[in-house]
């Protein structure tokens, strides 16, 4: 204030030929002392005379009050009676923004509307999402906590505890004590505290007996210059982060602080008293106005404990602007009076303080530091903030180091600038502290909220199959694309490789070798039957049908190779159709052989009408007729929805399976259904002829072979549907080989056994009945 007044008095462009002065009153924090000091100032120091002043030597034009809004409000209630302009140097407070209750009060400080955004930006910067809140009760405290909670919810930051402490209006002490146990036992390592200077003094009064370690305090600017502690060496608030209003520095203030001395301002009793306490001085007289025995060349910036900053604090800057606001308003008023009525004598400049209001209400000016100052509350801008780090280790250091800045006017993402390598953290931390309810879920995991808890408290569970998370703390994992798969850590997707049932695959090798062996076996049996074509056992079982059956079985084995290897359009079309037709030939041949046996033994009497079936060889037409029906079904299938090359991206985790799509699943099952009907018919006929008397009667073997055949394909259906990818192809090939081998083994193995190992049983003498049958059949 003194610096601003002297600067204005030296400036010829503001209030020329007019000097400003000041009077300082100390206000104790209770209503009686507030009113006492106000009336003393209004009436004079000798006695209280309401509505009358004994002062004649000076004219008071404005009052600067603060920094507590309670003190300003109590003073404003009295000053409003006399219409004195009142300028508050404390932070902008909505309690004082009521123009109906305080029409003559002006707030100098900018608004704190962006403070909550700045604090949350700081929390996000350090990834702190678990904090505690300690607030003072009142309109401003409620507004700040509401803004904070809204901003925290938007940024997914949670609150462990909230303490709202009411403050008495007649004492700086809170109405109830804060429980230090709640602060100490809280899992939150970051505590946000907000309140005016008087609340904070009371808060510190209750907390000073407790050493709080491993807690980072985030404070508003009212803490600036208030933080004190009684701990030895350690300090609970060392490492705290303070949001102080940003302002530019004035060029001459540092030099002014260095040159201030009681001898320069003999009327300033407070300055004399400070010198007495700080520099071990003594008083030379009884009225405590003259000092002696002081330290030589002492100055305020060298005071113990660094009580005086070489730069302006936030509140000092508000005082500086308040003095300039009064000076500019007075200057405008005097210019207005001079324009209206010329002034000849100084006595004609006498005016009442209330006449200054029209000029104060709309006052806007640029201070010497180059910043815009606006007294209109509706036109005030949001404050920018310096982030200060409080160093007080060891106890008494009391340094406030600027480590960052927050500006709501910067572009998004650049509003907060911080030099975190300069930060000294709280006692107990050797590195940047963490304040989270649950540890972050790393890549490969996702968050799972705990029932009944806030969103910051969660469990980490691995991502599901084929899903990944490549960031921390994701809510949902991301599905890999169809042509990709998740790696083992499930933190990124890998490209799938192409695969199919090839000849280099172990399953492909096994099935190929098996098919070749069975094909060779069927060819060998065919060769034996051709060599022994005139033997009774070959003749007795209709050697033509036996040859057809052996050739069909050989083709069944060989058609397995259509399923193995890289699929192409031709193989996809031939796979199912070839399989269907050659199996139809094989099963219809078995059906024809079964019908032949039944007819041979059931229709033996000469002259029976059905005997012509044997004579005309009618059973031999069963094979072409049944095969023609299957050819028609396959033709319809190929005409409407033929098989085609397709890819299966879901069956195998690391591979894309190249396979043949059947086109029409209905047609495929119609083909299988037709084969099943033929097999069931063959099984039924063979079952009926199983007990017919003859050594070479193969009805029993046909029955067993069709039982094996039906069992394989009935089992095939559920197994086929339960497998995926190339295993599905392998299952179908396996079923083809097993069912074909069943027919080959059950029907032809007994005959080959007789031909090769029991030739004596393969003779005319041993089988007269059979020879008679054959003769009758041929004639």
Tell how strand 644-648 and strand 655-661 pair up.
antiparallel
Q: 494-517 pLDDT, tens per residue?
A: 999 998 888 888 899 999 999 999
**Which among 143, 226, 235, 236 is positioned nearest to 191, based on CA atoms?**
236
Q: pLDDT at residue 681 above 80?
A: yes
CATH for the 506-778 domain, from 3.40.50.1820, 3.40.190.10, 3.30.70.100, 1.20.1070.10:
1.20.1070.10
Q: pLDDT at residue 163 above 60?
A: yes
Tell whether the torsion through CA atoms of 393, 399, 405 and 407 is positive or negative.
positive
* CATH 1.20.1070.10 location in the chain: 506-778
* Secondary structure class of 16 (helix, strand, coil): coil
- What band does 232 get if pLDDT is binned at 50, 70 and 90? very low
Residue where the block lists tokens 């709640």: 182
| Spatial distance between the Cα atoms of 318 and 314, rounded to a whole number of angstroms | 6
The mean pLDDT of 121-144, rounded to a whole number, is 88
- What band does 773 get if pLDDT is binned at 50, 70 and 90? very low
| Spatial distance between the Cα atoms of 116 and 143, rounded to a whole number of angstroms | 10
| Spatial distance between the Cα atoms of 309 and 301, rounded to a whole number of angstroms | 7
**Residue 616 or residue 494, greater confidence:** 494
* Secondary structure class of 561 (helix, strand, coil): helix
User: Are 771 and 543 a contacting pair, CB within 8 Å?
Assistant: no
- 711 CA to centre of own chain: 54
* Secondary structure class of 461 (helix, strand, coil): strand
Q: Where are the beta strands (DSSP E) in 619-721?
A: 644-648, 655-661
Q: pLDDT at residue 268 above 90?
A: no
The residues that bridge with 292 in the sheet, in sequence order, are 282
Structure tokens at 222: 């009212």
| Spatial distance between the Cα atoms of 117 and 718, rounded to a whole number of angstroms | 62
Helix axes 569-602, 699-722, angle to 10 degrees: 150
| pLDDT value at residue 353 | 86
| Spatial distance between the Cα atoms of 192 and 275, rounded to a whole number of angstroms | 36
| pLDDT value at residue 413 | 84
| pLDDT value at residue 396 | 67
Q: What is the 8-class DSSP label of residue 286? A: T
Q: 74-110 pLDDT, tens per residue?
A: 888 888 888 889 999 988 888 888 888 899 999 999 8
- What band does 208 get if pLDDT is binned at 50, 70 and 90? low
| pLDDT value at residue 429 | 87
* Residues in CB range of 418: below 8 A, 6 or more apart: 122, 125, 387, 403, 404
Structure tokens at 422: 């300069």
Q: 345-389 pLDDT, tens per residue?
A: 655 567 788 889 999 988 899 999 999 998 887 778 788 999 999
- What band does 1 get if pLDDT is binned at 50, 70 and 90? very high
Length of the chain: 779
Q: Of 328-342, 578-592, 728-742, which gets the smallest average pLDDT? A: 328-342
Tell whether the torsion through CA atoms of 416, 420, 426 and 428 is positive or negative.
positive
Residue where the block lists tokens 């911080």: 418
Residue 32: is it exposed, middle or buried by C-beta count within 10 angstroms (0-12/13-18/19+)?
exposed
Residue 228: is it exposed, middle or buried by C-beta count within 10 angstroms (0-12/13-18/19+)?
middle
Round the average pLDDT of the chain to a whole number and report it: 82
| Spatial distance between the Cα atoms of 675 and 556, rounded to a whole number of angstroms | 14
For 115-243+383-422, CATH number? 3.40.50.2300
DSSP track, 96-134: G--TTT-TTEEE-SPB-TTHHHHHHHHHHHTT--EEEEE
| pLDDT value at residue 443 | 93
Maximum average pLDDT range among 26-35, 317-326, 334-343: 317-326
The residues that bridge with 161 in the sheet, in sequence order, are 132
* CATH 3.40.50.2300 location in the chain: 2-109+251-260+299-368, 115-243+383-422
pTM attached to this predicted model: 0.68
**Cis, bond preceding 771 (omega within 30 deg of 0):** no
Q: 102-119 pLDDT, tens per residue?
A: 999 999 998 888 999 999
| Spatial distance between the Cα atoms of 641 and 598, rounded to a whole number of angstroms | 40
Q: 522-576 pLDDT, tens per residue?
A: 999 999 888 888 887 777 767 788 899 899 999 999 999 999 989 998 999 998 8
| Phi and psi torsions of 408, nearest 5° | -70, -10
- Percent over 90 (pLDDT), the chain: 26
| pLDDT value at residue 514 | 93
Structure tokens at 557: 């084995």
CATH for the 2-109+251-260+299-368 domain, from 3.40.50.2300, 3.10.20.30, 3.40.50.1220, 3.40.120.10:
3.40.50.2300
Residue where the block lists tokens 């938007």: 154
Q: 414-442 pLDDT, tens per residue?
A: 999 999 899 999 888 889 999 998 888 99
- What band does 343 get if pLDDT is binned at 50, 70 and 90? low
User: Are 733 and 631 a contacting pair, CB within 8 Å?
Assistant: no
Q: pLDDT at residue 224 above 60?
A: no
| Spatial distance between the Cα atoms of 459 and 461, rounded to a whole number of angstroms | 6
| Spatial distance between the Cα atoms of 43 and 278, rounded to a whole number of angstroms | 34
Residue 256: is it exposed, middle or buried by C-beta count within 10 angstroms (0-12/13-18/19+)?
middle
| Spatial distance between the Cα atoms of 506 and 328, rounded to a whole number of angstroms | 96
């Amino acid at each position: 204030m003194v610096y601003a007044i002297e600067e204005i008095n030296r400036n010829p462009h503001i209030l020329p030929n007019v000097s400003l002065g000041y009077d300082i009153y100390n206000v104790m924090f209770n209503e009686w002392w507030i009113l006492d000091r106000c009336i003393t100032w209004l009436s004079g120091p000798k006695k209280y005379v309401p509505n009358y002043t004994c002062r004649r030597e000076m004219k008071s034009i404005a009052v600067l009050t603060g920094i507590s809004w309670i003190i300003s409000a109590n003073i404003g209630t009295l000053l409003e009676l006399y219409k004195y302009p009142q300028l508050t140097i404390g932070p902008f407070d909505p309690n004082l923004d009521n123009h109906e209750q305080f029409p003559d009060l002006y707030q100098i400080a900018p608004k704190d509307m962006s403070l909550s955004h700045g604090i949350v930006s700081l929390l996000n910067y350090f990834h702190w999402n678990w904090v505690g809140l300690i607030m003072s009760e009142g309109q401003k405290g409620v507004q700040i906590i509401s803004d904070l909670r809204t901003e925290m919810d938007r940024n997914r930051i949670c609150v462990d505890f909230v303490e709202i402490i009411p403050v008495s209006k007649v004492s700086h002490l809170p109405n109830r004590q804060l429980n230090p146990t709640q602060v100490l036992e809280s899992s939150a390592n970051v505590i946000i505290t907000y309140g005016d200077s008087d609340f904070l003094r009371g808060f510190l009064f209750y907390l000073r007996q407790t050493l709080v370690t491993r807690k980072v305090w985030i404070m508003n600017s009212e803490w600036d210059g208030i933080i004190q502690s009684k701990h030895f060496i350690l300090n609970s608030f060392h490492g705290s982060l303070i949001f102080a209003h940003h302002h530019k520095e004035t060029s001459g203030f540092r030099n002014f602080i260095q040159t201030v001395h009681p001898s320069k301002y003999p009327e300033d009793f407070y300055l004399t008293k400070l010198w007495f306490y700080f520099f071990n001085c003594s008083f030379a007289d009884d009225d405590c106005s003259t000092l002696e025995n002081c330290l030589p060349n002492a100055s305020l910036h060298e005071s113990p404990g660094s009580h005086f900053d070489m730069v302006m604090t936030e509140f000092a800057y508000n005082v500086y602007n308040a003095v300039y606001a009064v000076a500019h308003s007075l200057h405008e008023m005097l210019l207005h009076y001079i324009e209206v009525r010329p002034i000849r004598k100084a006595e004609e400049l006498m005016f009442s303080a209330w006449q200054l209001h029209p000029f104060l209400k709309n006052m806007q000016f640029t201070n010497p530091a180059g910043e815009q100052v606006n007294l209109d509350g509706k036109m005030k801008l949001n404050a920018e903030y310096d982030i200060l780090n409080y160093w007080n280790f060891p106890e008494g250091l009391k340094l406030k180091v600027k480590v960052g800045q927050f500006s709501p006017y910067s572009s998004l993402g650049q509003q907060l600038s911080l030099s975190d390598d300069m930060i000294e953290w709280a006692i107990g931390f050797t590195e940047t502290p963490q304040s989270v309810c649950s540890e972050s879920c790393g890549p490969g995991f996702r968050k799972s909220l705990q029932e009944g808890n806030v969103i910051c408290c969660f469990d980490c569970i691995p991502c599901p199959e084929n899903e990944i998370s490549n960031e921390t703390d994701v809510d949902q994992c991301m599905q890999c694309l169809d042509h990709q798969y998740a790696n083992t850590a499930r933190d990124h997707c890998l490209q799938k490789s192409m695969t199919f049932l090839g000849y280099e695959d172990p399953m492909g090798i096994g099935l190929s070798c098996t098919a070749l062996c069975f094909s060779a076996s069927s060819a060998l049996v065919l060769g034996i039957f051709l060599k022994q074509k005139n033997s009774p056992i070959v003749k007795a079982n209709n050697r033509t049908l036996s040859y057809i059956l052996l050739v069909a079985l050989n083709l069944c084995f060989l058609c397995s190779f259509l399923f193995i290897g890289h699929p192409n359009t031709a193989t996809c079309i031939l796979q199912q159709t070839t399989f269907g037709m050659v199996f139809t030939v094989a099963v219809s041949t078995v059906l024809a052989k079964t019908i032949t046996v039944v007819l041979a033994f059931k229709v033996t009497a000469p002259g029976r009408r059905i005997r012509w079936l044997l004579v005309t060889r009618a059973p031999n037409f069963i094979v072409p007729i049944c095969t023609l029906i299957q050819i028609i079904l396959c033709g319809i299938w190929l005409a409407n929805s033929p098989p085609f090359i397709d890819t299966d991206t879901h069956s195998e985790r690391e591979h894309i399976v190249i396979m043949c799509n059947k086109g029409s699943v209905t047609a495929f099952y119609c083909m299988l259904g037709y084969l099943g009907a033929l097999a069931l018919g063959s099984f039924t006929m063979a079952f009926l002829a199983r007990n017919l008397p003859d050594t070479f009667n193969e009805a029993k073997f046909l029955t067993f072979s069709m039982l094996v055949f039906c069992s394989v394909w009935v089992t095939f259906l559920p197994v086929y549907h339960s497998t995926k990818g190339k295993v599905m192809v392998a299952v179908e090939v396996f079923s083809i080989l097993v069912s074909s081998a069943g027919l080959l083994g059950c029907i032809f193995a007994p005959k080959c056994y007789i031909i090769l190992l029991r030739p004596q049983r393969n003779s005319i003498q041993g089988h007269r009945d059979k020879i008679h049958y054959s003769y009758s059949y041929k004639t």
